[in-house]
């Protein structure tokens, strides 16, 4: 779904801006709300994992329960 693309973009851009992994994990869960997605989508997506390039290398960022 498009919700995953929006969250992924947020994480990748945040990594490029130098934000921390933990910060992106928390903030990524507030990019898209239940009200913005079709019924049932929030229940389908439990985790979003993004491999992003940070100033100090590539890291895996996992956003748990990304649509709240």
pLDDT on residue 33? 98
* 8 A C-beta contact, residue 49 and residue 8: no
pLDDT on residue 1? 82
pLDDT on residue 46? 98
Q: What is the 3-state secondary structure (H, E, C) of 22-58?
A: HHHHHHHHHCECHHHCCCCHHHHCCEEEEEEEECCEE
pLDDT on residue 60? 99
Indicate which CATH number applies to the domain containing 60: 3.30.280.10
| Counted domains in the chain | 1
| Full domain range(s) for residue 44 | 2-64
pLDDT on residue 56? 96
pTM (2 decimals)? Answer: 0.94
What's the pLDDT tens digit per position in 5-63? 999 999 999 999 999 999 999 999 999 999 999 999 999 999 999 999 999 999 999 99
């Amino acid at each position: 779904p498009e919700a995953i693309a929006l969250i992924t973009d947020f994480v990748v851009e945040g990594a490029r801006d130098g934000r921390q992994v933990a910060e992106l994990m928390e903030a990524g869960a507030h990019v898209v709300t239940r009200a913005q997605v079709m019924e049932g989508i929030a229940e389908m997506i439990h985790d979003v994992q993004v491999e992003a390039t940070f100033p100090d290398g590539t890291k895996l960022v996992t956003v748990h329960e990304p649509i709240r």
